[in-house]
Amino acid sequence: GENVEQHPSTLSVQEGDSAVIKCTYSDSASNYFPWYKQELGKRPQLIIDIRSNVGEKKDQRIAVTLNKTAKHFSLHITETQPEDSAVYFCAAIPSGSARQLTFGSGTQLTVLP
Amino acid sequence: EAQVTQNPRYLITVTGKKLTVTCSQNMNHEYMSWYRQDPGLGLRQIYYSMNVEVTDKGDVPEGYKVSRKEKRNFPLILESPSPNQTSLYFCASSPTGLGDTQYFGPGTRLTVL
C-alpha cells in the first residue's frame, strides 16, 4: 500500500517568513495529493490539492509543488501570519484506488509574532 | 447549511460496552468515510463507503463495523470497545470520491476505560 512520510513534525517561523513542509510517497502511480489544515480543536479542512498532471499550483499565499520523479510534494506558505498556526497534513491516493486516502503524520506549524 | 454532523461529540465508556457514533451529511454526497486521529500517527482510514450498501475496509478496520443503509448516514459501530480504541474520530464525506474535497465532521472524542 501507499506510505506517506511528512517532515518536519514541528516547524516554527517568524511572522512574515516562509514555511515549507515536505511529503514523500511510495506509490509512483499515486495521482492526487491534497493538503489539509487542522486548527486546534477543529476539524481538518482542505486548503489546496494537486494532481499528478500538474507540477505546481498556487492559491494566494499557499502553493504546492509536485516532483513525480522524486516522489515528493511540498506545501509552501509565504508571508506567514499568526492564523497560519495549525497542524498541516499531506495525503495521497494510492494507484488503482479513488477510495482510500493515506495521510502523513502531520506538521505542527507555529508562527511566532 | 451544508454540513457533516457527528454524535456524540464526547464519550467515555468502559471496555466491552457496545457503542455507535452517528454521522450524517446533508449534501447528498456519495462517498463517506471514517478516520481515527492519534498523536504522531495522523489520520488513519477505518472504513469508507462509495454509496448506499457499498462499504469497504480502510487501513485500520479491526474492531469496527459500519453500515450505509441511507445515503446521508454512515454510523460507526464498536461492538466491544477496548482501550486501544481511545481516539479522536472523524467522519468525512465528498461528492463522488477522494478526488473531490472531503468535508469533515466536528469529531468525536472517545475514551474507553
DSSP per-residue codes, B4-61: EEEE-SEEEE-TT--EEEEEEESS--SEEEEEEEETTTEEEEEEEEEETTEEEE-S--
For chains A and B, CB pairs below 8 A equal 57
pLDDT of A74-102, one tens digit each? Answer: 999 999 999 999 999 999 987 655 567 88
Q: What is the 3-state secondary structure (H, E, C) of A23-91?
A: EEECCCCCCEEEEEEECCCCCCEEEEEEECCCCEEEECCEEEEEECCCCEEEEEECCCCHHHCEEEEEE
Residue of B30, B33, B43 to mutate when probing chain A, most A C-beta within 10 A: B43
| pLDDT class of B98 with cuts at 50, 70, 90 | low
Nearest C-alpha of chain A: how many angstroms from B40? 6
Residue whose C-alpha cell is 479491526: B62
Residue A31: predicted pLDDT: 85
B13-72 residues touching A, CB cutoff 8 A: 31, 33, 35, 40-45, 48, 50, 56, 58-59
Model pLDDT for residues A29-87, shown as the tens digit of each residue: 888 899 999 999 999 999 999 987 788 999 999 999 999 999 999 999 999 999 999 99
Q: Is the pLDDT of residue A107 over 90?
A: yes
Interchain CB distance below 8 Å, B42 and A104? yes
Beta pairing partners, B93? B32, B103
Residue found by looking up cell 453500515 in the block: B67
B81 pLDDT more than 90? yes
Each residue of B22-79: pLDDT tens digit? 999 999 999 999 999 998 888 999 999 999 999 999 889 999 999 999 999 999 999 9
Compare all CA atoms of chain A with the CA of B94 and give the residue at the minimum distance.
A99
Query: Measured between beta carbons, which residues in chain B are less than 8 angstroms from residue A100?
Result: 45, 48, 58-59, 98
- Sign of the Cα torsion A33, B49, B6, B63 reads negative
pLDDT for residue B16 is more than 90: yes
**Nearest-CA neighbor of B88 among B64, B113, B103, B107?**
B107
Instruction: Give the dihedral sign, CA B6/B3/A73/A100.
Output: positive
So what's the pLDDT on residue A56?
Answer: 94
